[in-house]
Structures are given as structure tokens and as C-alpha cells.
Amino acid sequence: MLNVIRIFLTLITLIGTASSQEDPQLGSARVVFQTNYGDIEFGFYPSVAPQTVDHIFKLVRLGCYNTNHFFRVDKGFVAQVADVVGGRSAPMNEVQRVEAEKTVVGEFSDVKHVRGILSMGRYSDPNSAASSFSILLGDAPHLDGQYAVFGKVTKGDETLRKLEGLPTRKEGIFVMPTERITIHSSYYYDTEMEICEKERSVLKRRLTASAIEIERQRWKKRNPYPLICHSKMKPEGLSSDFCFTFVECGLIDLSPIQNNHFPSEKQLH
């Protein structure tokens, strides 16, 4: 009996540990950095580091990361984006500069530093993070709780592997690429809006198909003999045995047409 209790307690501990190590929920926003070696897409953890996420996303929306670069690529450790103040090859406008010079409080969490995680760069001051951040290229447990995790890579691991394969040089504590890895441009989108658009498109097709079928059945009841459709009137994917009344889809109202009299070109929508 004692062994059973021990096993039960062990299972509870393991379940609790596994639960605590689950990835936090990603927000719906996605950002894409377009580099000279491919695209890198990432999402945010708004529940983990809300102020950091708001700040970085605003910098992206303002175009602050465009013409910036990865100044550091340490294989198996990090690929680090330079601070946009001084890292860009193009000058910033006043609005960009004001936001770029802001710092955010250190939002440290228990999210682990593993490959693909986004982690803010900073100086010794825990509240000195501005716009530089690292993409983890491997596990780095010594960074856990010391640097603010705010998101993770969702697409583009093949691009990261290309960066890891580039020649580098050592400058102090930094391993740096010998050639500039430029972020040519960046853009963002919302996955919820994308899903909504797809669902709306599917729903529209289904409603259209249902409405056409209803009109086909109505026409059959009103007309005992088939009426062959004009080629421009026939909805795609349907037989030409019957013509329908379906103004909602942009088709002409055929209810007054009798005895195979086709509409003129001007009548066609």
C-alpha cells in the first residue's frame, strides 16, 4: 500500500512538472523579418511579457527594424539583432527614434531559454532593454530568469541554420558574422484575421451553393420542361440543364424568360 502511495505522489509531481514546462500561449500577431538568407517569422507571449511585446511590436509597425542587422551569430547559442539606434543602415525619422530610445522594465519569467525563443538583450541594469534581442539557437539555462523572454520563432528554422553556417570572427565576448546579415524589411499579420477570412470564404461558397440549389428546385416546380442555360449564365460546376433566379450572386433574374428566349448581352451582369 505504501508503494502505491509513493507511485501516486511521484505521478502527481511529474504531471505538475510537465504542466509547468508547457509553452505559454502565443498571441495572434506574427512578425516576419526578411533577410538576405531567408525569412524568419515569430510570435509573441503577451501573457508573459506584455510591456516588452507592446514595445517590440510597435517598433516593427514603425518599420524600425528595416535595414537593421544581426550583429552576432554564435552557433548553438544565439543570433542577436542589433539595437536599431545605430544598427540600421538607413536614418530614422523622429517618430521612430523616440520609440527606439525607450527602454522597458525587465519582465523576467520562468519560461526556459531553448532553441527558437526570443529574449531581450540588456546591459547590467535589468531595466535597460531597448530594441536588441536574441533568437536562441540552442538551450541556454544560465539565461533563465535573467533575461526577458517575450516570444518564439514560428517559421524559419532553415534560415537560422543558414546563419549558423556562416563564417564568423571573435570580438571580445561576441562571435560575429564576417559579412552583414541585413534585415531588408519586415511585416506583420494577424493569424485570427487570416482564419476569419478563410472561414468567411468557405461560408460564402456554401451559402452560394445552397441558394443556387434552392432556386433550381423552385424553377423545376414552376417549369415542367428544362430550359437550357446561356453559357454566360451557367454557374461554374453546375449542369446546364436548368437556369436559375439568383440575383444575390450577380446572376440575372430568369423568372420572366419563357420558351428558350435568352437575355441580351446588356441584361447579363
**Where do the domains of the chain lie?**
25-193, 223-269
Q: What is the pLDDT of residue 23?
A: 85
Q: What is the pLDDT of residue 226?
A: 52
CATH superfamily of 25-193: Cyclophilin-like (2.40.100.10)
Q: What is the pLDDT of residue 172?
A: 92
Question: Can you give the chain as a three-state secondary structure string?
Answer: CHHHHHHHHHHHHHHHHHHHCCCCCCCCEEEEEEECCEEEEEEECCCCCHHHHHHHHHHHHCCCCCCEEEEEEECCCEEEECCHHHHCCCCCCHHHHHHHCCCECCCCCCCCCCCCEEEECCCCCCCCECCCEEEECCCCHHHCCCCCEEEEEEECHHHHHHHHCCCEEEECCEEEECCCEEEEEEEEEEHHHHHHHHHHHHHHHHHHHHHHHHHHHHHHHHCCCCCCCCCCCCCCCCCCCCCCCCHHHCCCCCCCCCCCCCCCHHHCC
Q: What is the pLDDT of residue 204?
A: 66
Q: What is the pLDDT of residue 17?
A: 46
Q: What is the pLDDT of residue 43?
A: 98
pTM of the predicted model as reported, rounded to 2 decimal places: 0.68
Best CA proximity match to 34, nearest among 187, 166, 136, 153: 187
Q: What is the pLDDT of residue 238?
A: 45
Q: What is the pLDDT of residue 100?
A: 97
Per-residue pLDDT of the chain (269 residues; tens, 9 = 90+): 555 445 544 554 544 544 445 789 999 999 999 999 999 999 999 999 999 999 999 999 999 999 999 999 999 999 999 999 999 999 999 999 999 999 999 999 999 999 999 999 999 999 999 999 999 999 999 999 999 999 999 999 999 999 999 999 999 999 999 999 999 999 999 998 866 666 667 666 666 666 666 666 666 667 665 544 444 444 454 444 444 433 333 443 444 444 444 444 334 33
Q: What is the pLDDT of residue 225?
A: 53
